Amino acid sequence: MAIDLFKPFRIGSLELKNRFVRSATWDATADSSGAVTERSLALYRQLGGGGAGLIVSGYAFVSPSGQAVWGQYGAHRNDMISGLRRMVQAAHEGGAKIALQVVHAGINSDYLQRKNVALLAVSAIPEASRRHREMTDGEIEAIIADFAAAALRGREAGFDAIQLHGAHGYLMSQFLSPLFNHRRDRWGGNAENRRRFHLEVIRRVRQAVGPEFPFMIKFGVQDDREGGLLLSEGLETAREMIEQGIDAIEVSAGVGSSAQVTRPGDPERPYFRERAAAVKQAMAVPVMLVGGIRSLKMCRAIVESGDADLISMCRPFVREPGLIARWQRGEGEPAACISCGRCLGIVRRGEPLECGEERRLREEAARRT
């Protein structure tokens, strides 16, 4: 059945102008406190006018103990609200809706590791090279409260939705994964206990933002390391998260998946399509698929097959913030992004995000002149 991807689509009470989502992307433009900067605003103003129905912000840490990287946005204090409000206004200027993504990095904080801070871990991991310690029950409860407070700040700043970062090996993934969670208390052990953190965070955030406010999660439904989270357990967790108030799920990687790079000329391959299809088949809420999508033809195939409801992309918008507007004008060439991954290398060096291929071309042109 033909589906018009450019027609409005609803996630709970939130109406989007189309089915395209700019997935959360670390852009390294926040200042040293985590506050939004003028460079941040310029980026979101550009994205807002680029045609996507929904923008998900770069991930914002909910407490200083959970900051993942430098240049990361913060949602950990009330004085962050004014800058976040300006980010919302910048995105809205172009007609896009915007969600605030909130995160705690747990043991996977490059930022705190470089500062030689002992990282908060779900469990002690003897083989881990990073200095860390197991969280106490009180610290877990405090972080749950931090998530709820950060979400409320997002609502106060005017965001249209909140998204939890429950993927990519950060704290929520760590609680759910048997590879990281070896606890013997109510937060670990069996599958029911390992998903307790997710359900408590969702319950508390839902209480904070109210019953109708749009609330989503980016979810690593399966790990990619032996002994990790199984798809069947991820699906059961998704069912319970929906019961607690999740309105939509963006399917992505869990523990053990590194950033995937597609070489120029390789066939287009959505990385998590089968997993998204499994979630979509089992759940009644909208499902977003992210990773490896580069053509409008593939977007249509995914949605029309019923494997996902919305198309989420990250790196294509780094090179072409106006990609969706181009497609809607009838210029249907695939994204200019060649999936080289050099943009990720740029931000990991502490520089603001930009397309690495475009930088390479500029530098080559400068050398020729």
Q: Tokens representing 47?
A: 């994205």
Residue in 44, 59, 73, 170 annotated catalytic: 170
The pLDDT of residue 349: 87
Question: ∠ at Cα 239 (237, 241), nearest 5°?
Answer: 70
22-43 tens-digit pLDDT = 999 999 999 999 999 999 999 9
170 catalytically annotated: yes
What mean pLDDT do residues 176-196 have? Answer: 96
| pLDDT of 257 strictly over 70 | no
Three-class SS state of 313: strand
Structural domain that includes position 65: 9-368
Question: ∠ at Cα 60 (338, 348), nearest 5°?
Answer: 45
206-224 tens-digit pLDDT = 999 999 999 999 999 999 9
Please report, for the domain that includes residue 147, its CATH number.
3.20.20.70
Q: Tokens representing 149?
A: 């407070």
The pLDDT of residue 206: 98
Residue 135's pLDDT band (boundaries 50, 70, 90)?
very high
pTM (global) more than 0.85 = yes
**Domain presence at residue 336:** yes
Q: 256 or 8: whose pLDDT is higher?
A: 8
| pLDDT of 302 strictly over 60 | yes
The pLDDT of residue 262: 64
What mean pLDDT do residues 154-176 have? Answer: 98
Neighbours of 192 (CB within 10 A): 12
Integer Cα distance of 106 and 119 in angstroms = 7
Three-class SS state of 225: coil
Alpha helices in 26-170 (DSSP H): 38-48, 81-93, 110-114, 137-156
**Domain presence at residue 129:** yes
**Domain presence at residue 4:** no
**Domain presence at residue 356:** yes
Integer Cα distance of 130 and 114 in angstroms = 10
Q: How many domains does the chain have?
A: 1
Integer Cα distance of 132 and 128 in angstroms = 8
Q: 330 or 363: whose pLDDT is higher?
A: 330
Q: Tokens representing 42?
A: 């310029």
Max intra-chain CA distance, the chain: 65
